[in-house]
Amino acid sequence: MRLLLAIALAGCQPDDASPGDPLGPWPTEPHTLATFCPSLPYPELVTTCRVQAAADLGRAGESDAAWAVCASVPAGTWYEECHFRAGEELGRAGATLPALRHCREAGWFGRNCLTHAGWNLPADPELGPDTPPATLATAAEELDAGVQQALAGAADGLPGEGRDIVLARYGYNVFVGRGRATPEAARLDGAVGAALRTGFAIEAARLLPEPSVEAILDVWRGETPPPEGPPLPPGSRMGRYAQRVLAPGERGAPFAPTFGGGARLIGVSPEEDVTIAALEALFWREDTAAEAFLPWVDDPRERVRWTAARLVRLAPPETLDLPAVLTRIAETHPDENVRWQARNGLENRTWEPPPRPGAHPGAP
């Protein structure tokens, strides 16, 4: 749309157009582009050009220069988009905290900006599965303080959401693709412990020769040695995920973001929480069928069975007559949340085809 606008407006110019002719090539160097923008003949083109310049400066990691360009854009939608474009490009460049400063100014676009910036938090090569848990906890606290400062004053719950996303990504970075699932850090309490358990469970499920919830729990408890294997190269740390749909009874329950825009419930204890994380990690593996989750639908812990019920309806079966199973659960299970998940699966046939949304924007 913007390109069509530029072409349409440019077509109205006289033949002796100025050096700011939009039909001519715009400068590709971002500082030069920012200087070029005011020479364009129409205010709309100047604004579009400045938004592009801010995005290009963000891609180059130059947050302050992008901020100065956006300051020249009139208040309103274009100003917010300018900061959104700068923020998402800074995020892709690995400049997470400067990116979040721009997300704070992105208005309606703020949540998308947070997602793009937060999930691109680069992994710290000094922080991994064998780092002492106290060191990982301190690093998480310092990161959280930076996020709070970057998002200070943002509206509509963005500060809390940004903190959750960045912390979730931090736990993912510590473990996923590192080639070892050492459990000590995954035993920490609080939000950082939940984030680390998510990453631990995914890596354990990837490395175990026969992954299961029980096998992941055995590693977490120290009953079996941590699994090891080859690290993953950058760009290959993807798995299956799905957007979360809350059952009515889950509203208000604590949750942690998961990769791709989903969320998982947080257990009432570390042991319960790592069980939930293990169920989610098995779903992350695209070859895990509905049969793996079905036994946990009757777990005595409500958040465990709620998680299992959701994953049963999302994962394709191997030999299970899934419609019949979901019908039975929807009609007879004593937990209304479990029945709701089964009904949702029947109404929407959520297991057909298998969920495979593809790479999340900016995926590592």
Q: What is the mean pLDDT of residues 26-40?
A: 95
2-16, 29-43, 54-68: which range is least confident on average? 2-16
Alpha-carbon span 307 to 346, nearest angstrom? 17
Alpha-carbon span 191 to 168, nearest angstrom? 9
Please provide the average confidence, as pLDDT, over all residues in the chain.
89
Alpha-carbon span 288 to 258, nearest angstrom? 18
Provide the residue ranges of all domains of the chain, joining segments of one domain with +: 2-118, 133-289
Our CA dihedral for 291, 199, 103, 361, rounded to 10 degrees, sits at: -60
The pLDDT of residue 3 is above 70: no
Q: Which two tokens stand for residue 72?
A: 């020249």
Q: What pLDDT was estimated at residue 228?
A: 97
The pLDDT of residue 1 is above 70: no
The pLDDT of residue 200 is above 90: yes
99-103, 306-310, 354-358: which range is least confident on average? 354-358
- Tens-digit pLDDT profile for residues 91-139: 999 999 999 999 999 998 999 999 889 999 999 999 999 999 999 999 9
Q: Give backbone dihedrals phi and psi of 264, rounded to 5 degrees, phi first.
A: -125, 150
Residue with tokens 């691109």: 120
Residue 131 and residue 174 in contact, taking contact as beta carbons nearer than 8 Å: yes
**201 or 25, greater pLDDT:** 201
The pLDDT of residue 10 is above 60: no
- Tens-digit pLDDT profile for residues 213-254: 999 999 999 999 999 999 998 776 788 888 888 899 998 899
Q: What is the mean pLDDT of residues 250-259?
A: 90
Q: What is the mean pLDDT of residues 64-85?
A: 97
